[in-house]
Structure 1
C-alpha cells in the first residue's frame, strides 16, 4: 500500500483564503462572532481593575457601601461575561458545523464527477479520510481555532493596555520572563507542527489499510494470510501510536514549562511589589491586580499555542481537501445536447484508448451498430471488451478517434442525458446497504413501486423477492451479502430495466449464475433487447449466436467480425474459441 506523505507548508495563507469562501454565506453570523470575540476580550481584563479599585479605594477608605456597590458591579460583569461566553461558544460551533457541512457537500459532489481512472489509482480509505476525518478536523478550526485565537490575541492586547495603564514598572517586571515563554512556545509550535503532520498521515494510512482489507477479507481468509496481514496492520498501527505519543510528549513538556515561567513571573512581581509597598510606592490593590493580570496574560499565550496546533491540524487537512478539490481528473461535461428522440445507433471510428500513457488497450477500433441491432464482443481476458463499453458511457475518454450515437459525438451530449439512455449490467454486481426497492430505483422518486414490480416480473426476479421477509423492502445488507450471486444479478437486471434505456450493455451478465438462472435471465434478456440497441460481452458463445454482428477482439484489435455462422465458416479466431468451449462442455458432461 502506498503511504501518504506529509503536505507542504502548513501555515498557508492561500488555503485560509480559500476556506473563507465557505464563510461568505454566513458573513452576518461571522461578523457577530467577531463582535462577541472583541467584547469578551474587553470584559476579561476589567475584573482585576475593578478589584484593584475596590481594595485601594473602598477598602482603604472603609467605604462599606462603596464596597457593596463594587461587589454587585463585579457580579453583573461576571453575568454579562458568562452570557457573552455562552453565545460566543455556541455561535462559533454553529458556524463551524455549517461550514464543514458545505465543504463536505462540495467535496462529495466533486468526487462523484471524477473519472473512474482516478478511483483506479486512489485508495478508497484515503478518500474516506478526506470526506470524514479531515473535514471533521476543520470543524475545530472554525469552532475552536481561528475565533479562539483571535479572542486570545485581543485579550493579550487589552490586558497589556490595562497593565501599562495601572503601573508600567510592574508591567516590565512581569514581562521579563516573556521572551523565555515566547522561545519555548516557538519550539513547541515547530515540533508539534511536524508531529501532527505525521499523525494525519498515520490516520490516512490506517484508514486505507483497514478499509481495503476488510473489503477483501474473503481473499485474506481464502489464502490463509491472516497472520501476514495482521503483521502489516500491527506495523501501521504502531506507527500511528508513535506519532500520537510523540505529540503528547511535546504537550507534556511545554505546559509544565509554561507554568514554571508563569510562576517565576508572579514571584518577581510579588518580590518587586512587596519591596515598593514597604516604601509606599505601590498600593496593595495594584499588586493583587497584577497577579491576576499575569495569570490572565500567560493563559492566552498557552491557549494560543494549543489552538495553534488545532489550526495546524486544520491546515494540514485543508491542504489535502483542497488538493482533492483541485483535481481535474473529471469527465468534462461541456455538452448540452439532449435528444428528443433517442434511437440508439452507435458508431466507433478509429478509436484508440489507453488507461495509462500510451499503453493502448484499444487500437483503431471501427464498428457500427444500427438502432435495435445486437452486437456481441468476444475474446480472451484482457482483449479490451470491457473498455469498449466503458468508453460508450464516458466513464473514460478516448485518446484518439470518435464515438457517436445517432450521428452525434458523445462529447456533445449532456452527460446525464447520455447515461440516462444507456443501461449497463456488469458481471460484478454492486448492491448498497438498504432495501431491494432502493437498490433498484437508486432512490429515484420518479420510479414507482408498480414499475419496479413490472420489471421484476419480466426478469423473473419477482418469485424469489416475494419469498424474502418484507419482499421489496428486504434489507440486502452491505454489498448484497445476504443474497446469492444469481439473486444479485437478477436485481441488477431489474435495475437496468426500470430506467427503460435505449441501449443495453451486458458485460458477462450471465457468467456467474447457474444453468437454471441463466435460462431465466436469457429469456428476460431476449424480451429486454426487443426494440433496443444491445451490446453484449459474453464468454459463453452459445448466448450470442443470434447476434446481428459479432466482433472478435484480441490484444485491443478487432481481428474479425460477422455473424455466428459466417465466423464459424472462416475457421479462424472465433472458430477456435467455439471449438475450445465445445470441448469444455464435453469434458464437463
Structure 2
C-alpha cells in the first residue's frame, strides 16, 4: 500500500513533463517495431540462399538494404528515446531537489537540530539520484520491455504457433523468480539507506571538527566508531546486493533453457518441413530478444525497489509540518523596541525544564545585558526572541504585539544579530557583507566595513572587496570573519540588535574600536547583549542575571555589585579570586 502511495506521488512530478514521456514512449514503440522487423528480414535473406549456385541475388540485395534501413532506424529512435527520457528525468530531479531544498527552509529549527545534517544532505543528493536512476528511467525500460515481449509474441505466432508456445510457456518463470527476489531486496535497501545517512552524518561531523579530533588525539577512537558504522553498512550492503544480484543470473539461466528448447524443437520442426532455416534463424533471434526484456524488467524491479525506498526518505521530509504562520499577521510598522516578556516557559525536552516563569520589561532604546553561567538559558532566550523556537507558555510582546501573531520574517527583520560563531558563505567579501541588505551601493558596503574596522585587512587582500572566500570563510582568521559579520549588521542598520558574544574572537584593541562603533549604532535602539566577559557590559541600562532559567538578579552594574550577590561573584571571579 505504501509502495502505491509513493509511486502515485512520484507520478505527480511527471505530469508537467508528460510530453517528454509520451514522445519517449512513441519513439520506443517505433524502435521496437524496427528491432522486431530486422530478424524477419534476416530470416528472409537466409531463405534466398537455397544452396550452391541457387541464390536469388536481387531479392537478397533488397533484403540487405532493408536490414540496413531497419538497423539505422532502430539506432535513431533509440537515441531519441534516451534524449526524451533524460529530458524528463533531469527536470523531475531538479523539481524534487528544489522542493526538498525549499522544505528545509520551512522546517522548524527543532527538526533540523534533531536530525543528522549529513543524513539530510544525503537525502537531497544521493537519494534523489537513485530515484532518477531507478524509478524515472525505469518507466521507459519497463514500457520498452513489455512492448518488446508483446511484439515478439505476435511475430513468433505469425511464423509458427508450436515453437512460439515453447517460448511463451517457459519464459515467464524468470519474471516470477525476479519478483520474489525483489520483495526481499526492498527491505535490505531501506536498512542500507538509513545506515548510509548515518555514516554521511558522522563523516560530515568529523571533517568539520578535524582540528578538535587531532588536538585530543581521538583519531583511533573515531576510526573505531567509523569502522562500526561502516561494518553495519557493509553487512547491509552485502545482503541487499546479494539478493539484487541474484535476479540477473537467475533470469539468464531460465532464458538459456528457453533458447536451447527453441533450438532443439525448431530443428526437428525444420527437419519435418514445418519451418524454413531462415524462419528458425528468426525464431532463435526472437527467443533471445524475447528473454532479454525479462532481464531488463527484472533489473527494473530491483531499481524500482531502491528508488521507492529513497523516495520514502525524501517524502518523509516533505511530509513534515511546516512552520505555521498566523492567518492574519500583525505588523509593527514603526518598531520602537518596547519588549515585555511575561510568564515565559520553555524546554527543549518535556522532561527537562529550562526557562520557567521568566518576566522581563524592556523600554525602547535600552541596552539589556544577559549574563549567567553556562547552560542558564541565555542563548535559549535569544532563540525565543527571534522565534527560532516558540515558547511552551507565556508571551513575548514587541510594542504591544504578541510575537506569535507576527510573521517570523517580519519579526526577524527588526533584529540585527551577531553571533559568537561567525557565518560566511562561498563568495566575494562584498557579497558576504551585503547579505541581508537590499541592493546596497559599493559606498555603503565600504562605509560599513570601515565602521567595523574590517576595511584595512580587506584592502590588504589581492582582490580587495572582490576577494573570493572559501566555504565558511576558512581562508580568513576567526577574528576577520567576525569583523565581516559585524560589518554585515552595520550595513543592514536594523531597529533592534542582538549581540551574542559578538567580539569574543577579536583582539582587545580592535574590540575597543568596534565597541565605539557599536555604541554609536546602539543609540536609540533596543539591544540585547549576551556576554561572558562582564567587563564589556558595564554601560548596559539593565543587567539581567540568569541562573537555571530564572532571573535571580536585575539592575545596573554598580547596583548589582553593591548587592554583593550572584553577579558580584561572577564579576570578581574574572579578575580576583579573593572575592569568591
Q: Give the TM bin, normalised by the shorter chain.
A: over 0.9
Q: 1:251 to 1:392 in 2, by over 3 A?
A: closer
CA distance in 2 between counterparts of 1:345 and 1:370 reads 5
**Contact kept in structure 2, 1:129 and 1:207, CA below 8 Å:** yes
**Alignment-derived partner of residue 41 in structure 2:** 50
Could you say if the C-alpha distance between residues 280 and 40 of structure 1 is closer, same or farther in structure 2, counting changes exceeding 3 Å?
same
Report SS of the residue matched to 1:411.
Answer: helix
Correspondence for 1:32 = 23
The residue correspondences of 1:123-138 to structure 2 (distance < 5 A) are 123-138=116-131
Q: CA deviation at 1:478?
A: 2.8
Using the alignment, how far apart are the partners of 1:432 and 1:227 within structure 2?
Answer: 32
When the two structures are superposed, what TM-score results if normalisation uses the length of structure 1?
0.91
Note the C-alpha offset of 1:37.
2.9
Alpha carbons 2:376, 2:546 under 8 Å: kept: yes
In 1, the alpha carbon distance for the partners of 2:579 and 2:472 equals 35
- Deviates most, 208-217 or 428-437: 428-437
Partner Cα distance (2:368, 2:82) in 1? 65
Unaligned runs of 5+ in 2: none
Alpha-carbon distance, 1:295 to partner:
0.3
- SS of 1:494's partner is helix
1:410 corresponds to which of 387, 403, 411: 403
Which piece of structure 1 moves more, 90-99 or 339-348?
Answer: 339-348
Pick from 455, 459, 477: which aligns with 2:448?
A: 455
Superposed, 1:75-154 pairs within 5 Å as 75-141=68-134, 144-154=137-147
Name the structure 1 match of 2:175: 182
Which secondary structure does the structure 2 equivalent of 1:550 belong to?
A: strand
Structure 1 residues 445 and 310, CA gap change in structure 2 (3 angstroms): farther
| Structure 1 residues 98 and 59: CA distance shift in structure 2, 3 A | farther
With over 3 angstroms needed to count, the CA separation of the structure-2 counterparts of 1:58 and 1:341, relative to structure 1, is farther
- How far apart are the structure 1 equivalents of 2:138 and 2:411? 46
- Is the Cα–Cα contact under 8 Å of residues 376 and 551 in structure 1 kept in the other structure? yes
Q: Secondary structure, in 3 states, of the residue corresponding to 1:208?
A: helix
Greater shift, 376-385 or 158-167, is seen at 158-167
* 1:433-448 matched pairs, under 5 angstroms: 433-442=426-435, 446-448=439-441
Aligned to 1:388: 381
**Counterpart in the other structure of 1:73:** 66
Quote the Cα distance in structure 2 between the aligned partners of 1:248 and 1:141: 15
| Structure 1: distance between partners of 2:105 and 2:493 | 23
Q: Does 1:420 align with 2:421?
A: no
Q: Which residue of 1 aligns with 2:571?
A: 578
| Equivalences for residues 219-258 of structure 1 within 5 A | 219-250=212-243, 253-258=246-251
Matched residue, 2:531: 538
**Structure 2 match to 1:526:** 519
Q: Are residues 34 and 558 of structure 1, via their aligned partners in 2, closer, same or farther at CA, if it must alter by over 3 Å?
A: same
Mapped partners of 2:221, 2:565: distance in 1: 47
Give yes or no for the alignment of 1:340 onto 2:333. Answer: yes
Q: Deviations over 1:285-317 (max 9, x none)?
A: 332221111100110111111122222221111
Partner of 1:364 in structure 2? 357
Tell me if the contact between 2:332 and 2:399 (Cα under 8 Å) persists in the aligned partners. no
Counterpart residue number, 1:3: none
